Chains A and B, each alone.
Chain A
Amino acid sequence: MTTQTHEAAEGPLLSMHGIIKKFPGVLALGGVDLEVRAGEVHCLLGQNGAGKSTLIKVLSAAYQPDGGTIVWDGGTVSLTTPVAAMGLGISTIYQELDLVADLTVAENIFLGHEVSRGGFSRRSHANAQARALLERLGHGEISPTRPVGTLSPAAQQVVSMARALSHRTRLLILDEPSAVLDQEEVRNLFRVIRNLTAEGVAVIYISHRLEEIRQIGDRITVLKDGRTVATGLQVEDTPTQDLIQLMTGRSIEYVFPPRRPADDFGDPVLEVRGLSVSGVFSTVDLTVHAGEIVGLAGLVGAGRSEILEAIYGARRPSTGTVSVAGRRLRSGAVAASVRAGVGLCPEERKSQGLLLDHPVFHNITVSTLARFSRGGFLNGAAERAEAEQLTTALDVRPAGVNRPVRNLSGGNQQKVVLARWLMRECRVLLLDEPTRGVDVGARTEIYTLIRSLADKGVAIVVVSSEIEEVLGLADRVLTVREGVVVHEAPATELDESRVLDLVMEGSVA
């Protein structure tokens, strides 16, 4: 491992103390400490939702913290705008690269601070400087004049890093940089990172692959529930088992409704056979019985949501079949799935699930309009009345089915989406992150509601980034990693660290 040559002489390049960031109803960061030295690769570890993304957004000034201090190079700073952060030398490379596909490599590198004189761009100058930056990264073979869209993801990442370097970066934040790379490319990436740290650049490295952290990392900070639980751990001195332990265990305990005995399920309702979407996930087999809740655990981007969408017909599978109660669904046809009794509560409730400016009852009856229509004419009174019954039963607050759904809280909006499928009396319910953006109190209600649906014989599939939620709610858990179901077991035989280990690429022996 690289050893720090700079650390002895100077203080840390960056230290963050007690950083707090609140969102409505959620404490995203509840006191985070982080110290990064020049020339080191500092790994940031934590489960989904632990606060890693929020923290790096605070660092790149995309968010303003509500408390805490940031010391940069010995002086307290407040990062008010992304430009200010960049001015200090902090650059972030996100998973989703923000490059302009139609511009050339050089144009992308100098986007926003173009090499120009008197308003005229100086192309040859820019190209020469871009070439120098790329060579510094060990990738002189990338032509500065090529359109970025024609490059591989790995090469695009190098371009992003060259862009960061063009800002005289002293701290480079890499958010899951290896997610899109193959092994050879990852080795390349590590070489680039070492070139940078040798020059004294500090790197914050976020990855879920513990194996990689062993290879590239110098020190580790672990976040859990928006707090630092361990910081400055030396990579070589810290067993993986300890890291997993640090990441698991939650400060808030959710109450989950009791399960029914495992032999008490009905007939198979949902049968998925060999379902694949090329490039996203492959050959998923899944059977869900009446009354059963199956959980899909996995990292964001592992293909969980895509599996649900393909089952639902919102995404056309390349191979495989989906059957409901023995009848095969037409693939890639949402309307047919809905008619067959399948419902989906999508991951992005606001953009995919709701008609935000429409009243609550529109949102509930939208999938059941045929029931309220005679010859195409809607019986609005019946619609409102039935919607009202459901919102009362689910305790949607504030009451009133004519209220725009936009004005409801996250938990109540989720209840509205659930009410839509309750009204439809569907046989299969697919839930994608059912408690995202839902506060603690409403979570329990939603868990209870989901369980009571299962008890009525609905077959349910739940996707959640929170392992605890999957374990607490589901009867059976499938672990998805990089588009493949790698493990399946009854929830009672699993614990959080076991699943986390499975999810994060099996680094525990």
Chain B
Amino acid sequence: MNESSTGLSAPGAAAPAETPSTEPAVPVTAAEPNGTAGGRALAGMAVLRSSAGRNLGLVVALGLLCVVGVVTAGDRFADVDNILTILRLAATIGVVSIGMTFVITGGGIDLSVGAILALASVWSTTLATQAMANDVHWLVMVVAALAVGAGCGLVNGLLIAYGGVVPFIATLAMLASARGLAEILSDRRTQIINVPAFREAFNGEVLGIPVLVLIFVLVAVVGWIVLNRTTFGRRTLAVGGNPEAARLAGIRVQRHTVMLYVVVGLCCGIAALMLVARTTTGSSTHGTLYELDAIAAVVIGGTLLSGGRGTIVGTVFGVLIFTTLSNVFTLNNLSISVQSVVKGLIIVVAVLLQQRLASRSKT
């Protein structure tokens, strides 16, 4: 299979692969409609305030980014292989970001996503696991990764909901210990996977679309449905919007909080499998700084960091914007450092803009 080509399909893609960028491109977006609106700034604001408007802003931002990509890198950017590379890179961090959207919407934060991902990647690729996978079925690896992710999420959730530890600290502790445990398990060595069936399953294509991308699409669709169309989603919004009111309305806030962290943990498990498949390795260094990329994507997507409002569509755009940004920068031979600076700027501008809009809509 030249599935391994995932990593090398585009010359420029290899570097960004390590840091599928998730940074906010939204601010650009948001600023854009305003600028084009010219004198009708107020009308622009009104549109932006609506959820459709916010997403429109994200679409415009992504579109602009693509224009920049085509202008500066021409065919190297507007190439099917390159687009697929962007999507494959976006897929892993995208799945993590969907989970993060739930936790943040529910009023929490999870700093340990990258570490959980690393631990799940290592645990599912130990010699023992791989041996069992070869003997029984490659699904053994899948189960291992999901169980590790959900387990870590459960620990986070219990500590936060019943232990009363603030999410920042509880998940910070998990960040440290999960990655440490991953290092111990792997002895700090990169674990090459040797389960052909697993690699085939994950690195294949369906109708020309990489399986990894399909997994991302599936997770996003399920995430959207759960957040917008189920009691779980509604309760998530309520718990994040006003935990005390939610409690007094009869929602079991503690139990729900635990479930939210299990959800994000599961997403990390899925993402771990995707990363293992893409890199054909499990490693304690996988997913480094994913927490920041995921939070950034969620925030520029329009999810309220203080909870109570969340948008899966926004998050997907946030992820795509950051990944595309990285790709464009890499194609233009700009350093990772420059990318980081721009990402930071984008986050700040996005949040400033959102705050302006939010304060206007309240008055």
From 242 to 287 in chain B, residues with beta carbon under 8 angstroms from any chain A beta carbon are 242, 244-252
What CA separation (Å) do A420 and B251 show in the bound complex? 13
Nearest-neighbor residue (CB-CB) of B239 within chain A: A355
Nearest-neighbor residue (CB-CB) of B230 within chain A: A376
A366:B249 contact, CB within 8 angstroms:
yes
Q: In the complex where A373-B230, A378-B234 touch, is A355 in contact with B248 (Cβ < 8 A)?
A: no
B229:A380 contact, CB within 8 angstroms:
yes
A314:B234 contact, CB within 8 angstroms:
no
A335:B252 contact, CB within 8 angstroms:
yes
Nearest-neighbor residue (CB-CB) of A309 within chain B: B248
Query: Chain A nearest CB: distance from B192 CB in Å?
Result: 41
Q: Which of A355, A373, A406, A420 contacts B246 (CB 8 A)?
A: A355
A362:B231 contact, CB within 8 angstroms:
no
Q: Which of B230, B233, B242, B309 has the most CB of A within 10 A?
A: B242
Residues of A with C-beta under 8 A to B162: none
From 216 to 233 in chain B, residues with beta carbon under 8 angstroms from any chain A beta carbon are 229-233
A346:B237 contact, CB within 8 angstroms:
no
Q: Which of B230, B238, B242, B362 contacts A351 (CB 8 A)?
A: B242
Residues of A with C-beta under 8 A to B244: 351-352
A344 within 8 A of B: yes
Nearest-neighbor residue (CB-CB) of B362 within chain A: A406
B229:A353 contact, CB within 8 angstroms:
no
B180 within 8 A of A: no
Query: Chain A nearest CB: distance from B221 CB in Å?
Result: 14
Q: In the complex where A354-B242, A355-B241, A355-B308 touch, is A367 in contact with B234 (Cβ < 8 A)?
A: no
Q: Which of B241, B252, B309 has the most CB of A within 10 A?
A: B241
A346:B229 contact, CB within 8 angstroms:
no
A367:B249 contact, CB within 8 angstroms:
yes
Q: In the complex where A376-B232, A380-B229, A406-B362 touch, is A339 in contact with B250 (Cβ < 8 A)?
A: yes
A369:B245 contact, CB within 8 angstroms:
no
B242:A355 contact, CB within 8 angstroms:
yes
A338 within 8 A of B: yes
B230:A338 contact, CB within 8 angstroms:
no
- The size of the chain A interface, using a CB distance under 8 A, is 29
A370 within 8 A of B: yes
Residues of B with C-beta under 8 A to A70: none
Residues of B with C-beta under 8 A to A120: none
Q: Which of B245, B247, B251, B362 contacts A354 (CB 8 A)?
A: B245
- The size of the chain B interface, using a CB distance under 8 A, is 23
What CA separation (Å) do A356 and B238 show in the bound complex? 10
A334:B241 contact, CB within 8 angstroms:
no
A395 within 8 A of B: no
B231:A378 contact, CB within 8 angstroms:
yes
What CA separation (Å) do A378 and B230 show in the bound complex? 5
B308:A334 contact, CB within 8 angstroms:
no
Q: Which of A337, A344, A358, A367 contacts B237 (CB 8 A)?
A: A358
Residues of A with C-beta under 8 A to B308: 355, 357-358
A362:B230 contact, CB within 8 angstroms:
no
What CA separation (Å) do A433 and B247 show in the bound complex? 19
Q: In the complex where A358-B238, A362-B237, A369-B235 touch, is A352 in contact with B248 (Cβ < 8 A)?
A: yes
Q: In the complex where A357-B241, A358-B238, A406-B362 touch, is A369 in contact with B248 (Cβ < 8 A)?
A: no
Nearest-neighbor residue (CB-CB) of A337 within chain B: B250
B248:A344 contact, CB within 8 angstroms:
yes
Residues of B with C-beta under 8 A to A420: 249
Residues of A with C-beta under 8 A to B230: 373, 376-378
Nearest-neighbor residue (CB-CB) of A420 within chain B: B249
Q: Which of A314, A334, A339, A370 has the most CB of B within 10 A?
A: A334
B250:A353 contact, CB within 8 angstroms:
no
Residues of B with C-beta under 8 A to A314: 247-248
- Residue-wise, chain B 3-41 has the 8 Å CB interface mask toward A (1 for contact) of 000000000000000000000000000000000000000
Residues of B with C-beta under 8 A to A358: 237-238, 241, 308
- Residue-wise, chain A 324-346 has the 8 Å CB interface mask toward B (1 for contact) of 00000000001101110000101
Residues of A with C-beta under 8 A to B250: 334-335, 337-339, 366-367
Residues of B with C-beta under 8 A to A344: 248
Query: Chain B nearest CB: distance from A96 CB in Å?
Result: 19
Q: Which of B232, B234, B248, B252 contacts A362 (CB 8 A)?
A: B234
Q: In the complex where A354-B242, A355-B308 touch, is A334 in contact with B231 (Cβ < 8 A)?
A: no
- Residue-wise, chain A 364-385 has the 8 Å CB interface mask toward B (1 for contact) of 0011011001001110100000
For the complex of A and B, list the 8 residue pairs with the smallest distance between their C-beta atoms, beginning with the closest: A338-B250, A355-B241, A369-B231, A366-B249, A367-B249, A373-B231, A376-B230, A367-B250
Q: Jot down 5 A-B pairs with beta carbons below 8 A, ordered by A.
A: A352-B245, A352-B248, A356-B242, A366-B250, A377-B229
Given contacts A355-B238, A366-B234, A406-B362, 8 further A-B contacts (CB under 8 A): A334-B247, A335-B250, A355-B237, A356-B241, A356-B242, A357-B308, A376-B232, A380-B229
